[in-house]
Amino acid sequence: MALRVTFVAAAGSSSVLAERFEDDRPLDQAGWNEVQRVAHELLPLAAADLRYCSPSPRSRATGEGLGYAPLAQLALRDCGMGRWRGLTLGEVMAREPGAVDAWLADPRATPHGGESLLDFIGRVGGWLDTRPADEDCTVVAVAVPSVIRAALVYVLRAPPATYWSIDVRSLSTISVTGRAGRWSLRLEGVTTQPTRA
């Protein structure tokens, strides 16, 4: 019995340099334009048996804009960043450079008073492991990029430091298949028809 979960990265609400920890701002016009530009390509995912999203405003809006009518999942929220919530990485580095270094170097560190990277990865992985595993069940989950990075680290059983090396672009998709404790990353390409000589 295999389950297929396709993650869709929420549309961006600002430039990468202006991204904030636990960003709860709504989609701006650029984000809406992004959703409209790719909606026709991502619309088939609306046929998934189950449709979820992170509780962030931009994840909800992306899911709604793509026609998924997703159910928000608290376990798919961004990493809890404590007193850094709402700040950019640049702002935190200017205030607490040593704390940022500790946070980046140690996946158990919580210098912000929030959630550790290890706990975050475990929470997202726990959500994956509790999805129903009906034969050929399909799930779509619209999530902020950090949640998708955490899910990939969990699925691949990769070292936590791998999290920092995964680049998740706005409105990109990635699928995982399997069941609790046994997940595989699924990369898909364009289906081609055999050519005739």
What is the mean predicted confidence (pLDDT) over 47-58? Answer: 95
Instruction: Give which of 2, 117, 32, 124 is closest to 74, Cα–Cα.
Output: 124
Q: What is the pLDDT of residue 106?
A: 95
Instruction: Tell me the CA distances in angstroms from 99 to 31, 91, 94, 102, 166, one per residue in order.
Output: 32, 12, 11, 5, 22
Token match 């699928």: residue?
A: 175
What is the mean predicted confidence (pLDDT) over 51-59? Answer: 95
| 153 has a pLDDT exceeding 90 | yes
| 196 has a pLDDT exceeding 60 | no
Q: What is the pLDDT of residue 13?
A: 65
- 4-27 pLDDT, tens digit each: 999 999 998 665 556 777 777 788
Confidence label for 197 from pLDDT (cuts 50, 70 and 90):
very low
Q: What residues have CB less than 8 Å from 147, skipping those under 6 apart?
A: 7, 54, 76, 77, 78, 124
Q: What is the pLDDT of residue 117?
A: 96
Q: What is the full DSSP assignment across 28-43?
A: -HHHHHHHHHHHHHHG
| 192 has a pLDDT exceeding 60 | no
More confident residue, 127 or 181: 127
